[in-house]
Amino acid sequence: MSIGDDQIHGGSCLCGAIRFEAVGAPVIVAHCHCRDCQRLTGAGHSTGAMFPTSRFRLEGATREYRLRSEGGNQVTRVFCPSCGSPILGRNTAMPGFVTVSLGTFDDSSAFEPSVAIFARNRRPWDGVPDSVVSYDAQPGWSPGGAE
């Protein structure tokens, strides 16, 4: 399914205290199997859609948790202080972008993950389709054109 440049994708946390909108197609949709994402989600991986901050708007009070990634970058996790839903992440290695938790979108059916990172941590019970390119760690890729 094709996503238009001005298509609006809405979403929220579990309790509805936070609402957001992302516009257009994501830069990338990825599964992350790092241990931090496994702990964050309570599952085998997180799945997120990356958008330029200029194409993302959030309403509602949030809380943040910061940590150092395996690569030394500062990662900020943004979540709802009422229900705990993980809303998005930011990474100092990718300024100008947010990665929105796919499960928080009202309808995420048009988004298709294309990569899996930190696949070396993938649990045997957590399958990934063959169409998803897997990397053992964070690839040397970063989005261009940060706004």
* CA distance linking residue 137 with residue 32, whole number of Å: 9
pLDDT (tens digit per residue) in 62-85: 999 999 987 788 999 999 999 999
CA distance 127 to 133: 13
30-45 tens-digit pLDDT: 999 999 999 999 999 9
Output the average pLDDT for the chain: 91
pLDDT (0 to 100) of residue 130: 86
Residue at 87: amino acid letter? I
pLDDT class for 108, splitting at 50, 70, 90?
very high
Q: Are 10 and 59 in contact (CB under 8 A)?
A: no
Rounded-to-integer distance, Cα 84 and Cα 73, Å: 23
